[in-house]
Amino acid sequence: MTYVLFIGDRTYSSWSLRGWLMLEKFGLPFRVEEVGLYTGTLAADLGPVAPARLVPALMMPGGEPLGDTLAMAETLAERHPEAGLWPEDETARMRARWLAAEMHSGFADLRAHCPMALIRSYDSVRPPPEVLADLDRLQMLWSGAQERFGAGGPWLFGRYCLADVFFAPVAARIATYGLPVGDAAAAYVAQHLADPAFRRWRAEGLTYRYTPEPYAMDLPHLPWPGPEPVPARAVPHGTPINAACPLTGRPPSHFLEIEGTVIGFASLRARDMVANDPEAFPDVAAIYHSVTKEA
């Protein structure tokens, strides 16, 4: 049983990030089909999941299409109760659904003024009053959930759940534009940026570049505020420590040097996305960490 998830560009499609996280974070079996948000092929690419017209969209194992992230969330939670997509406690689950639904339908000013763009962070952004009002509302929702239900973990309800999935893109927006939030909200944003799944999504998205760049702002750039990546560089040849690509299992033909260790990959894309953030890929990190331990 494998789901097929149709997504847009990883760097800019905030709703696609939601769809991917609700499968990836809970260990559900799926594969990805990428559609052209900026190539004019979106409608044709979504043909297999018609009448869906936006990303993400999901093809169910039986062939039934499913659109809209709220519908996807509830359907997956219903089909996989053992995965714990919502909090177990009834009251916490009610609040988590409320927060996810409000994020799904609200915060229009924050979305409009601060589109998701994971490529960089900006300095000197001056958000208008309506965006500041959205930030105040977000912080009230987050603090209320964490204070009442967040014991035992760093997420809104302690353990990661679908409410966190729905807020991941807005956490990215706060990071990209350096939006003003208090210490508790900043810590919650940092938790998203450090999450290995979020880091994998961003690392793969960075393998693509557009000219002109969508949503670019004429402001000074800052380093991405997430964890600093382990240095890695592509090398034209070498003797890799691994016999098979850690991402695909196929024979390696492209090479990356990480902390003095050469690791082979089966494709340029696999090599380049790992180069963007090696620690985001546990199977890769295990290889060069094993060499470090032996040394």
The answer to the question of residue 218 being in a domain is no
The answer to the question of residue 109 being in a domain is yes
Domain with 61, as residue range(s), is: 3-82
The count of other CB atoms within 10 Å of the CB of residue 217 is: 15
pLDDT, residue 294, reads 56
188 and 95 assigned to the same domain: yes
The answer to the question of residue 206 being in a domain is no
The answer to the question of residue 114 being in a domain is yes
The answer to the question of residue 189 being in a domain is yes
* Neighbouring residues of 204: CB distance < 8 A, sequence distance ≥ 6: 10, 269, 273, 276
The answer to the question of residue 213 being in a domain is no
* Burial class of residue 159 in the structure, from the number of CB atoms within 10 Å of its CB (0-12 exposed, 13-18 middle, 19+ buried): middle
Domain boundary among 61, 82, 103: 82
45 and 92 assigned to the same domain: no
What average pLDDT does this structure show over 18-46? 95
Largest CA distance in the chain: 57
Q: Which CATH number goes with the domain that contains 162? A: 1.20.1050.10
117 and 185 assigned to the same domain: yes
- pLDDT-based confidence at 293, cuts 50/70/90? low
What average pLDDT does this structure show over 157-168? 98
Domain boundary among 82, 103, 133: 82
* Neighbouring residues of 63: CB distance < 8 A, sequence distance ≥ 6: none
pLDDT, residue 229, reads 95
98 and 181 assigned to the same domain: yes
Question: How many structural domains are present in the chain?
Answer: 3
At 256, which helix (H) or strand (E)?
A: strand 254-258
63 and 98 assigned to the same domain: no
pLDDT digit string, tens, across residues 212-250: 899 999 999 999 999 999 999 999 988 999 999 999 999
29 and 73 assigned to the same domain: yes
77 and 91 assigned to the same domain: no
179 and 104 assigned to the same domain: yes
The answer to the question of residue 135 being in a domain is yes
Domain boundary among 46, 64, 82: 82
Sign of CA dihedral 184, 185, 188, 189: negative
The answer to the question of residue 215 being in a domain is no
Task: Determine what percent of the chain is predicted with pLDDT higher than 70.
Answer: 99
What average pLDDT does this structure show over 74-102? 98
pLDDT digit string, tens, across residues 105-125: 999 999 999 999 999 999 999
Q: Which CATH number goes with the domain that contains 38? A: 3.40.30.10
178 and 255 assigned to the same domain: no
What average pLDDT does this structure show over 162-179? 98
What average pLDDT does this structure show over 26-44? 94
In 3-state terms the chain splits into helix, strand, coil percentages (rounded to 5) of: 45, 10, 40
List of long-range contacts for 256-265, beta carbons under 8 Å, 24+ apart: 256/232, 257/232, 257/233, 258/230, 258/231, 258/232, 258/284, 258/288, 259/230, 259/231, 259/288, 259/291, 259/292, 260/291, 261/287, 261/288, 261/291, 262/235, 262/238, 263/287, 263/288, 264/238, 264/240
Tell me the C-alpha to C-alpha distance, in Å, between residue 97 and each of 71, 104, 109, 263: 12, 10, 22, 43
Say whether pLDDT at 292 is over 90. Answer: no
103 and 186 assigned to the same domain: yes
137 and 164 assigned to the same domain: yes
67 and 15 assigned to the same domain: yes
pLDDT, residue 238, reads 86
